[in-house]
Amino acid sequence: MPENGITHNPPKILAPAGSKDAFLAALAAGADAVYCGLKSFSARMEADNFSMEELAALTRLAHKKGVEVYVTMNTLLKEHELERALSQIEKLARLVEPDAIIFSDPAIPALAEAAGFKGELHLSTLANASFTQGFAEAVAATGTKRIVLPRELNVEEIKAAAEAVPNGVDLEVFIHGALCYGVSGRCYWSSYMGGKSGLRGRCVQPCRRLYKQGHKNERFFSCQDLSLDTLVKVLLDIPQVTTWKIEGRKKGPHYVYYATTAYKMLRDNGKDPKVKKTAQGLLELALGRSGTHYNFLPQRPYNPVDTKAQTGSGLMLGRLQGSFKEPWFNPREALLPGDLLRIGYEDEQGHLIRRVKGSVPKKGKFHIAPQKERIPAKGTPVFLIDRREKGLKDAISALAKEADTFKVDAVTPSTAKLPKVVRYKAKKGDRATTLYLFREDRHGPKNTEKATWISEKAVPKTRKGGVGGRWWWLNPVIWPGEEKEYAALVRRLVNFGAKHFVLGAPWQIALFPEAKRKGLHLWAGPFCNIANALTADILKKRGFTGVMASPELSQEDFRDLAQASPLPTGVVVAGYFPLTIARTLTPALNPHEPFASPRGEESWVAKYGENHWLYPNWRVDITDKSADLRKWGYSLFVHMHEPIPKGVKLKKRPGEWNWNIRLL
């Protein structure tokens, strides 16, 4: 009997790499696979990332050692970027030959086919394959060989996913690393506050900041890190879970080495008490935040937000003592030459970075040499954020020399052609439609149509007039425990004569049996994050009859999509669009009551189903752009309404979002 009782292939340890040293650290630790990004189209654009030539040499080294390499191209693709994305995939196919591309935009598989890419395609967690009934549709639409599950799933939901995944397709599960507060692919917070989109890899992490509600000034949304540690043994019994993923492409080589080593130990010898203790010690010293099991055990769920715990990145070593002229602190762990310290939280102005020049014993005294910067106040936490031990430095150096021996061919011009997309031409008699979307049954102004979010409360239990003429909207995130209810509600609506539906994810079309789709108008809604015509064409082939643009686009992006789309296009022109959607909320924050950002921007939280929606107290409003939108080809204009809680004061401010900002 194999160690740990495994009768199938043990899961791969998939390590992150945001830099060359981190990549080499993953190899030194014995990772089975490494995932990394290039300089563009990666959901971690603030990592160093790689040039094509650098990645080619590192991939050759990895393959020599039997390690797989996955390249992330998991961002929202804009229309004018398709040509460049195609060229990048073609160069990957020729020069790098990675084992897989991790993607979220359905256009990527079509581009990969056009580029002659022979590796696998893995569906990113950003694509939000959150409910099992949608798995077969995701596979049929994209050809993915692996689905990366949301971090929010518990082990019973993971087991249900394993039972539902089509043959020949496996699952990847996050086991360690930073947790986003919002559901992946459903967070617009950073984009809403200034054009730096999480869907484009440029999130500025507004969830990590201090917020004020009443007399409380807390980090209400700053999550601890996920750390399944010894609980990973449960995943060993699920053969469809072939990959354990460690988050951390913005982390240094020390983190990558320690986390990878720890989980290899837990996978291979996790029954040995000494091994478990050693592995847990390595994870504690991996320079991450304090860990949480989150929802993994449904009988013992943990809220990932603990407002009493610190959630700064790195290992907290102590607090600043002394005066501003002679500051110092006593480190809780020994300091090594080359250690990198951060004094203060990364989201706070005035935090300092210092490099340790000499060894300091545990509980010794480390003096912070005053420079031109202002020294933070006494009591400010000090974090160890990077470490380069001699053994790891030597291993990285030896591997770097080996990588330098691989010759990389010169990059040749791209010859691949974009798949042809035939633009939709409006038919005679087509007219623009204005929708007013409500949570309950309400009418908008004259000459508009009604739209309602689907819920047990909103859907009539008996056939009633008006059901067929209304537009019915599906939730942007459907969790495994909700999918039967939504399937039943959709079935009831179709039987009652409903014709118009707006879906929150492309895979939700699985809730509509093909035999029932004839005569239905199925639109991909704004949460599908559509920004290019090739994605619209993929959805057209899957049975969609219209697409709505991602609301975070700039005016040029809105124009380019509508003028190239093979389907009718829609747009949110006004209303309350959520900053983010999350599955959890800290008990320290009162829902339906306003809370304020450091800049005084107010928001509130409302719960619908299993999700918590965070709304700003000002509206999206590009209604004055309607003439341009019509000219470009938009035919569906949506006004999103929300019940405003008592105590929330609405603010008058421009609601153009990124209309005049180049979306990064």
Q: Which helix (H) or strand (E) holds 211?
A: strand 211-213
**CATH classification of the domain holding 439:** 3.20.20.60
131: in domain: yes
The candidate with the shortest Cα–Cα distance to 351, out of 383, 397, 398, is: 383
User: 240 and 146: one domain?
Assistant: yes
Query: What pLDDT, on the 0 to 100 scale, is given for residue 275?
Result: 95
User: 275 and 365: one domain?
Assistant: no
**CATH classification of the domain holding 373:** 2.40.30.10
Query: What pLDDT, on the 0 to 100 scale, is given for residue 443?
Result: 81
User: 514 and 635: one domain?
Assistant: yes
Statement: the pTM of the whole predicted model exceeds 0.75: yes
5: in domain: no
489: in domain: yes
The candidate with the shortest Cα–Cα distance to 305, out of 221, 422, 365, 188, is: 221
User: 52 and 88: one domain?
Assistant: yes
User: 441 and 320: one domain?
Assistant: no
> What are the tokens at 626?
């309607």
d(C-alpha 4, C-alpha 2), whole Å = 6
605: in domain: no
User: 506 and 636: one domain?
Assistant: yes
d(C-alpha 376, C-alpha 372), whole Å = 12
Give the mean pLDDT per block of 10 residues along the chain (664 residues): 61 96 97 92 62 94 98 95 95 95 98 97 97 97 98 97 97 96 96 88 90 94 95 97 95 94 96 94 90 93 87 89 88 92 86 92 90 84 90 95 89 85 87 93 86 95 86 97 96 95 98 90 98 98 97 96 98 97 96 91 95 96 97 97 94 91 74
User: 373 and 399: one domain?
Assistant: no
User: 275 and 240: one domain?
Assistant: yes
6: in domain: no
101: in domain: yes
Query: What pLDDT, on the 0 to 100 scale, is given for residue 350?
Result: 81
User: 268 and 324: one domain?
Assistant: no
User: 251 and 322: one domain?
Assistant: no
**CATH classification of the domain holding 150:** 3.20.20.70
Range(s) of the domain holding residue 366? 315-386
262: in domain: yes
All residues at 6 or more sequence positions from 634 whose CB lies less than 8 Å from its CB, including other chains? 432, 549, 558, 562, 569, 570, 571
Query: What pLDDT, on the 0 to 100 scale, is given for residue 2?
Result: 44
Assess contact for 517 and 543: CB atoms under 8 A: yes
Assess contact for 619 and 652: CB atoms under 8 A: no
User: 355 and 463: one domain?
Assistant: no
Query: What pLDDT, on the 0 to 100 scale, is given for residue 598?
Result: 83
User: 63 and 144: one domain?
Assistant: yes
53: in domain: yes
Query: What pLDDT, on the 0 to 100 scale, is given for residue 582?
Result: 98
Number of structural domains the chain divides into: 3
End residue of a domain, out of 356, 386, 416: 386
